[in-house]
A and B are shown apart, each in its own frame.
Chain A
Amino acid sequence: MTHSSSDRPVESGSGSWKKQLDLPSERGASRLIMDELLDRLGEHGWPTSDIFSIHLAVEEAIVNAIVHGNKLAAAKKVRVECYVSPTIARIEITDEGEGFDPAQVPDCTQEDRLDVPSGRGVMLIHNFMTRVEYNAKGNRVLMEKTRGG
């Protein structure tokens, strides 16, 4: 598993951290960004419960992008852009797939879907982040967490 040549770590030097990374469309690729993201959240003083929320949302979004968006196609990348300050964490994830309509994802909490083994990622992202926005095509998700929010 190798990083793309367009990897572009950026240190802002103003009490915040930014990084952009292109992930390969391989299962487990989230680890290429996750450890550093979690470390930076810790360094910026984020509480454990918020770090858990961001970890879960980003993991689910990256898996969705790799598996459902890019359909594990080796030629396609998943771009992850992170911004972390002491009060805001913003992560934008873009895949090269056809996109999807989040409104069409079945509600996994309906009685007749409670025992369906998959389809919970999008709901978890919305519940654990403060703001979640998709682009019109549905291949990019912007997730924002306000500290303590």
Chain B
Amino acid sequence: MPQYRRIAVSTNGDVSVVSFNDKKILDEASIQELGAELFGIVEQQQSKSVLLNFANVEFLSSAALGKLITLDRKVKASQGRLKMCNIRPEIFEVFQITKLNKVFDIRKDEAEAIKAFS
């Protein structure tokens, strides 16, 4: 298993469940590292189903949104599926304003998201 600094990855059936180690995702260097770790899940582990659990995340900047968009592209390019869950209201508002809630498959919690993969 790869070593991660920005995320923690577990499995739930066939789904790679990603949680975030940082409460605030805004520092440029951290976001670059986060992006590389997220992309590695798709490119190296060849995981087809990825769930991002934002339960620990209190803040993210538009630079972090960029990494999520690129991850979504990579997952779709590999015929995989990406879902997100446990997004707090303030961050969900960011997704709504930018209409990324139309791009991303956002679920209430992990249980609902896992169910939606099956």
Contact = CB atoms under 8 A, between A and B. Distances in A.
Interface of A: 27-28, 30-31, 48-49, 52-53, 55-56, 59-60, 63, 108-109, 114-118, 120-121, 123-124, 127-128
A123 B73 CA distance: 22
Given A27-B29, A115-B72, A117-B69, A52 B97 contact: no
A59 B94 CA distance: 14
Nearest to B89: A49
Contacts of B43: none
Determine chain B's interface SS by DSSP, over half rule.
helix
A-B pairs, 5 with minimum CB distance: A117-B66, A120-B62, A27-B28, A52-B90, A109-B99
Nearest to B96: A127
Contacts of A52: 59, 90
Contacts of A124: 62, 94, 97-98
Contacts, number: 58
Interface in B91-109: 94, 97-100, 102-103
B15 interface: no
Contacts of B103: 114-115
29 contacts: A28-B28, A28-B29, A31-B27, A48-B90, A49-B89, A52-B90, A53-B90, A55-B59, A56-B61, A56-B94, A63-B28, A63-B61, A63-B63, A109-B98, A109-B99, A114-B102, A114-B103, A115-B69, A115-B72, A115-B103, A117-B67, A118-B62, A118-B63, A120-B62, A120-B65, A120-B66, A123-B97, A124-B94, A124-B97
